[in-house]
Amino acid sequence: MSRIKLRYPKIDDAQRFLEILSNPKFIYISANPKSIEDEIDWIKLNSKLRKQNLAWNYAIILEKQIIGSIGIMINPHRPYVGEMGYFTAEEYWNMGITTEAVKMVEEKGFTELGLKRIEIKMEPENESSERVAIKCGYHKEALLKKAVANKTGEMRDVLLYAKIFDHK
Ligand SMILES: CC(C)(COP(=O)(O)OP(=O)(O)OC[C@H]1O[C@@H](n2cnc3c(N)ncnc32)[C@H](O)[C@@H]1OP(=O)(O)O)[C@@H](O)C(=O)NCCC(=O)NCCS
């Protein structure tokens, strides 16, 4: 049985998400809320994104505490392709939490959302994120040049990992 639970984010989660994301070691993630209001706005946006099938984001819960977040963005032009993103509070790194969460969201993606392909992108220096993708059975397909803007707006190269739905 899984150690973690996933649920949709609530307004009350904003402070904790802000706290986790304010860690200066979070250098390879573009999410960069500057205030509690930014975070509340993001949480409010989520129900609209779900209604439009644009993004399905979840809080990761361990023993009733929020310890991170994971989500899948749906390509609006190709709604059979999703891209996963995730973060976990530093105190919980290297415990296999994100690996577990990716497997859970992937299951939702391939079964409930009808995705045929799920991608994960990360900067090549983000070795722990790459390791998560590898552990979850994603395959390295490419190095995309200047494909993702980081927190400061700088365009960065990213590795493209992907998994194809195999009708299992
Ligand atoms: C990336 C991140 C989500 C990984 O979460 P996590 O819960 O620690 O992931 P897991 O424990 O499931 O797996 C981490 C793996 O990376 C490995 N790892 C950690 N640091 C590493 C490093 N510097 N080099 C190589 N491997 C590393 C761990 O040993 C572990 O692999 P193992 O199980 O084979 O030992 C987390 O570090 C994080 O939130 N980082 C900041 C936000 C971020 O970068 N998000 C991803 C954007 S693409």
The full 3-state SS of 58-91, as one line of letters, equals EEEEECCEEEEEEEEEECCCCCCEEEEEEEECHH
53: its two tokens: 């099938």
Q: What percent of the chain has pLDDT over 70?
A: 99
Find the CATH number of the domain harbouring 114. 3.40.630.30
125 lines ligand 1 (CB under 6 A): no
Residue 95: per-residue pLDDT: 98
pLDDT digits (tens, 9 = 90+) for 108-140: 999 999 999 999 999 999 999 999 999 999 999
What's the chain's average pLDDT? 96
Please report, as a single letter, which amino acid is at residue 39: E
* pLDDT tens-digit series, residues 63-88: 999 999 999 999 999 999 999 999 99
Furthest C-alpha separation in the chain: 43
Would the pLDDT of 168 be above 80? no
Query: Which one-letter amino acid corresponds to residue 20?
Result: I
- Selection from 35, 37, 46, 34 nearest residue 10 by Cα: 46
Ligand 1 contacts CB of residue 26 (under 6 A): yes
Q: For residue 132, which atom of ligand 1 is closest to its CA?
A: 13
Averaged pLDDT, 19-39: 95
CA distance from start to end of the chain: 20
Task: Report how many domains make up the chain.
Answer: 1
Domain that holds residue 59: 4-164
- Closest-CA residue, ligand 1 atom 38, reads 87
Helices (H), the chain: 14-21, 36-51, 97-111, 127-135
